[in-house]
Homo-oligomer: A and B are copies of this chain.
Amino acid sequence: MNAHTTLFVCTTCRAGQAVAEGDVAPGAALAAALSQAGAPDGVRIQPTECLSACTNGCSIALARPGSWTYVYGRLTQADVSDILTGAAAYAQSEDGIVPWRARPTIFRKQSIARIPPLELS
Point out residues on A near B: beta carbons under 8 Å: 3, 6, 8, 46, 48, 50-53, 56, 59, 61, 63-65, 69-71, 111-116, 118-120
| Interface contact B52-A118, CB-CB below 8 Å | no
- Contact flag A51-B113 (CB < 8 Å), given A69-B69, A71-B71: yes
A71–B111 Cα distance when bound, in Å, is: 13
| Interface contact A48-B116, CB-CB below 8 Å | yes
| A8 surroundings in chain B (CB, below 8 A) | 115-116
- Contact flag A115-B65 (CB < 8 Å), given A3-B120, A120-B3: no
A–B pairs, 16, beta carbons within 8 Å: A6-B118, A6-B119, A52-B70, A52-B111, A53-B111, A53-B112, A53-B113, A53-B114, A56-B113, A59-B113, A63-B115, A63-B118, A69-B69, A71-B115, A112-B113, A113-B113
With a 10 A CB-CB cut-off, give which of A51, A65, A118 has the most chain B CB atoms: A118
Other contacts beyond A51-B114, A53-B113, A56-B113: 19, CB < 8 A: A3-B120, A46-B116, A48-B116, A51-B113, A52-B111, A52-B112, A52-B113, A52-B114, A53-B112, A59-B113, A61-B113, A61-B115, A65-B118, A71-B112, A71-B113, A71-B115, A112-B112, A112-B113, A113-B113
